[in-house]
Amino acid sequence: MSTPVSSIDEPDDLPSVRPTMQDVANAASVSLKTVSRVVNNEPRVDERTRERVHQAIAQLGFRRNDIARSLRQGQTSSTIGLVIEDIANPFYSSIARGLEKVAQAYNYMLIISNSEENPLRERELVNALLRRRVEGLCVVPAGYDHSYLSTELRLGTPVIFLDRPPIHLQTDTIVLDNRGGARKAIEHLLSYGHRRIAVIQGDPRVYTGAERFAGYYETLTAHGIACDEALIYSNCDDAQRAQQATRVLMALPHPPTAIFATSNRISIAVLRALHDCACQPAFVGFDDFDLADMLPVPVTVVAHDPMDIGRKAAEVLFARLSRTELPLQQLVMPTYIVVRGSGELPPGRV
C-alpha cells in the first residue's frame, strides 16, 4: 500500500467534498464576491478574471447553493407545493402537469406530496411544505377544517384550494361545476325517457360527491320525480362495493333503467359489473376516462379538463406572487356531457 497520508480517494487530485464559492475563490485567487459576480453573470468583471473563475468552477464541480442563496432576504425559494390525494390518479396527475407547466415557465419547481385522503397527513404535509418555505401552496383538501392556514395566509403565502373548497377559511378556490354536471347528466337521461335513475356514489361527505349527488337529487325533484331510496347507493368508492351495489340494483324486482355514477373509479367498477351480468341499463358517469369510447357500448360521461384546473391555479398563484391586485378567486370550471352511446340507451330494455 502507498502512504495513506491524503484522504483523497480519487485518481485525480480533486477533493470529494462539495466546493463552495470560497473554494472557487481560493482556486482562482480572487475574492468570494468576485466568484459570486461571475456565477450570477453580473457585469463589471474583467474578462480574464471571469475566465479564470469559470475554469476553477469547472474543475471543482462547483454549483451554486440555492438554499443558501434563498436565505438572503428578498430572495425566493422558487418552489411551490402541491398536496393531493394520489399522484397515480390521472385526475390529480393532470392537475399536477398543468401546474408544473406554468411553474416551469416562471422557473419554479413543484414539490408534490400525497395525502392519501388522510386529514392528518394533509396537515403534516402542508406544514412540512411551509417550513420549506414554498412560496405558494395548492391543496386538494382531505380535511374538514383549514383554519390552521389562516395565519399563513395573513403572512402572505398564497394558498389555493383545488377541486374542493376550504372549510373555515377564506382563500382562492378552483372547483368543477359538479352540480351542473350532474344536472346535465340527469336531464340527459330524463330526455331519453328514463324515470328510474339509480345513483352510485362514494363518501357523501366529500364535497365533490355531495355536489354531484345534490345535482342528481335536485334535478329529479325539479322534474317531479320522487327519489326512490332503493336506487341510491353511497360509500361505493371501493370497486368491490360499487360492483356489489350494481348487482343488487339490477336484481331488484323493479330495477332502474339508468345508472348515474358520480366518479371515474365508480364508473369503471359499475361498468365491470354490468359487463358480467347481462343487463344493460343506460349509463352516465362523472369524469371522463381513457378508452371510454372503445368499450362495447361507448360510455357517455360528464367531462372536464383537469389540466386546466392546474393551469388556472398556477395563474392565480403567480398573480398573487407578483402582488397583482386580484379579488378573492372562486373559479368554477365548466363540465359538459360527452355523448357516446351508453347514456342514450332507451328505458324498458332491462
**What is the spatial distance between Cα 330 and Cα 97, in angstroms, rounded to a whole number?**
21
Stretch that binds its own copies, among 80-88, 192-200, 218-226, 325-333 (CB under 8 A): 80-88
Question: Is 157 a residue that touches DNA (CB under 7 A)?
Answer: no
> Which CB atom, from 133 or from 247, has the smaller least distance to its own copies?
133
> Which CB atom, from 124 or from 218, has the smaller least distance to DNA?
124
74 binds, among its own copies, DNA, none (CB under 5 to 8 A by kind): DNA
Nearest 5°: CA angle at 270, between 264 and 274? 145
Burial class (CB in 10 A: 0-12, 13-18, 19+), 28: buried
Stretch that binds DNA, among 46-54, 106-114, 146-154, 234-242 (CB under 7 A): 46-54
Report, in Å, the least distance between residue 210 CB and its own copies. Answer: 26
Question: Is 45 a residue that touches DNA (CB under 7 A)?
Answer: yes
73 binds, among its own copies, DNA, none (CB under 5 to 8 A by kind): DNA
Report, in Å, the least distance between residue 127 CB and its own copies. Answer: 7
31 binds, among its own copies, DNA, none (CB under 5 to 8 A by kind): DNA
DSSP string for residues in 235-258: ---SHHHHHHHHHHHHTSSS--SE
Question: Is 65 a residue that touches DNA (CB under 7 A)?
Answer: yes
13-42 residues near DNA, rule: CB under 7 A: 18, 20-22, 29-34, 36-37, 39-40
Task: Pick the closest to residue 180 from 8, 337, 342 (CA basis).
Answer: 337
130-159 residues near its own copies, rule: CB under 8 A: 130-133, 151-152, 154-156
282 binds, among DNA, its own copies, none (CB under 5 to 8 A by kind): none
Lookup result for grid cell 502512504: 3
Question: Is 68 a residue that touches its own copies (CB under 8 A)?
Answer: yes
**What is the spatial distance between Cα 271 and Cα 67, in angstroms, rounded to a whole number?**
50
The DSSP secondary-structure symbol of 262 reads S
Binder to its own copies among 193, 296, 334, 346 (CB under 8 A)?
Answer: 296
**What is the spatial distance between Cα 87 and Cα 97, in angstroms, rounded to a whole number?**
10
Question: Is 130 a residue that touches DNA (CB under 7 A)?
Answer: no
Question: Is 154 a residue that touches DNA (CB under 7 A)?
Answer: no
Task: Pick the closest to residue 115 from 107, 105, 125, 106 (CA basis).
Answer: 125
Report, in Å, the least distance between residue 22 CB and its own copies. Answer: 14
Strand (E) or helix (H) holding 183: helix 178-191
24-63 residues near its own copies, rule: CB under 8 A: 61, 63
6-25 residues near its own copies, rule: CB under 8 A: 10, 14, 16-18
Contact 304, 181 (CB under 8 A): yes
Instruction: Return the amino acid letter for 130.
Output: L
Half-sphere exposure of 246 (CA within 13 A, CB side): 30
In the structure grid, which three cell numbers stand for residue 249, read together? 340494483
Helix (H, G, I), strand (E, B) or coil at 49: helix
**What is the spatial distance between Cα 317 and Cα 300, in angstroms, rounded to a whole number?**
34
In the structure grid, which three cell numbers stand for residue 94, read together? 393532470
* Contact set with its own copies (CB under 8 A): 10, 14, 16-18, 61, 63-68, 70-71, 77, 79, 86-88, 90, 93-94, 96-97, 100-101, 104, 107, 109-114, 127-133, 151-152, 154-156, 268, 271-272, 275, 289-291, 294-296, 307
* Contact set with DNA (CB under 7 A): 18, 20-22, 29-34, 36-37, 39-40, 43-46, 49-50, 62, 64-65, 68-69, 71-75
